[in-house]
Chain A
C-alpha cells in the first residue's frame, strides 16, 4: 500500500513537472518562433514587452484569457466548446511517453524518467495524433461557417493522409528496435542514433510530421489567405488560445518524438540527459521555423500527391529494404 502510494505520488510529481515544463516551453516556443522568423525576414519581432520581448507570451496569455469567449449563432454548442480541448489535450498527452533520462533508483526502487513507460508507446502517440484530427474537424464543422468547415475538411483529409506515411516511416524503427515502447527504442540507440541507419525514414517522418502539425508548407487547414483562419476562424479568447497552444505543443511533441526515435533521445555526452532532449527538440523546432520562413504553401492537389504518391510508396519500399537487410544481416530473427 505504502509503495503504491509512493508510486502514485511520484507519478503526480512527474506529471506536474512535465506538464508545467511542456506548457512553459510551448509558450516560449511562440516567442522563439516569432523572434527567429522575424530575423529570417530581417525584422526584429516582438521587442516591446520586456527585454527582447521576453514577456510577450505572458502578455498574449493575459490578453487571450481576458477576451470574450464567443459562440457563433447556429454553432453546435457542445462540439464547438470541446473541440479546442481535444486538440490541446491530445497534444499534451502525447508527451507522456517521451522519456527524458535514464531510470533513477530511489530508495532501491527503479523510477523511470518518463510519465508512463507504455509498451505500445509509439501506437499511443499515433492514436492520440489521430484523435487530434477530431478537434480540428469538429471545431471547423461546429462553427457553422464556411471557412471553418473548409478548414476542418482539409485538416481531416490532410492529417489522415499523412498519418499513413508517418506510421509507415516508423515501422523500420520498430523493426530495428524490436519494440513499440519508446523507452526501449531509446535504449536501442545506445551506440548509434537511428538517423544513421534510416535517413529515408527520417526524411519521410519530418515531412509527414510537419504536415501533421499543420506547419507552413502544409498549413492548408488554416491558409489565412483563402480561409481567413480555417478551422479556428470563429474561435476567440482562450479557446483560440487552446488551438494555438495545441499547435505549438504538437510542434514540441514531434520534436520530442523525432529526437527519441532518430536522434538518440536524451543521450548525449557530458551534459545532463534532459538538456540533450530539450536541445534536440529546440533544434527540430528551429528547423521547422526555418522551413516556415522559406517555403510557400503547397496547393491542395500537390499536398495530396506528395502524401499518397510519393511518401507512402517510399516508406513501403523502405520497410521492404529494411526487412531484407535485416534478414540478410540477421538483426531480425
Chain B
C-alpha cells in the first residue's frame, strides 16, 4: 500500500520534472510565413508544362494526363505542326478541382506535365483557378533537364526522318533480307 503510494507520487514528480525541463528547450514550431520549410524536389504543388532543352513544347497532346486525372480537371485539344510535331492547341487545368495527386505527371510519356513545389497559389476568385496553356507553360525543363521526346521518337520531324534519331538504326530494306 505504502509502496504503491510512493511509486505514484514519484511518477507524478518525474512527470512534472520532465515537463519543466522542456521549458528550457527551444520551441520546434516553424513560423510559417517568415520561415518556409525547404520542400523535397518531388513535393506535389502547382502544375506546369515544361519545354524540352531546345525550347520546344514537350506536350504532344496524347490525352493520357487528362484520362488518368481522377477529378477530370485537365482538358486539351491536340493539333499537329507542319513539321509533324504534335502539340496542344489549347490546354486547360482547373486548379479549383485539382487535388495535386500527381497522376498526370506519372502518366506523361514526354515529361511535359510536372508538379512543382509551389503550394502558395490561393486566390479569392474561384474562376481565376482555371489556368490556360499560357499560364501553365514555363521556359525551363523542370525536374527532367535532358529529355527531348522527338530526338528519340521514330516520327519524322525537323529533328530528322526515320533512322536518324538517337539510338535508332537505319530502316532495314526488307527486300535485301531475302534469302
Residues of A at the B interface (CB closer than 8 Å) are 38-44, 47, 290-291, 293-295
Contacts and interface: CB of A to CB of B under 8 A. Distances in A.
A77 to B, nearest CB: 39
Interface stretch (B24-32, B53-61, B78-86): B24-32
Pick the most buried of B20, B27, B28, B31: most chain A CB atoms within 10 A of its CB.
Answer: B27
B175 interface: no
B2 interface: no
Contacts of B18: 294
A43 B31 CA distance: 10
Contact of B22 (A40, A44, A47, A295): A40
Interface size class of chain B, counting residues whose CB lies under 8 Å from the partner chain: 10 to 19
A42 B23 CA distance: 7
A40 B23 contact: yes
A171 to B, nearest CB: 24
Contacts of B26: 42
A293 B27 contact: no
A294 B19 contact: yes
Interface string B1-35: 00000000000100110111011011111010000
19 contacts: A39-B22, A40-B23, A41-B22, A42-B22, A42-B25, A42-B26, A42-B27, A42-B28, A43-B29, A44-B27, A44-B31, A47-B31, A290-B16, A290-B19, A291-B16, A293-B19, A294-B18, A294-B19, A295-B12
A38 B16 contact: no
Interface in B106-155: none
Contacts of B28: 42-43
Contacts of A294: 15-16, 18-19
A182 B24 CA distance: 38
Contacts of A293: 19
Contacts of A44: 27, 29, 31
Pick the most buried of A40, A43, A295: most chain B CB atoms within 10 A of its CB.
Answer: A40
B19 A38 contact: no
Given A42-B29, A294-B19, 5 more contacts: A38-B27, A42-B22, A42-B25, A290-B19, A295-B15
B19 A40 contact: yes
Contacts of A38: 27
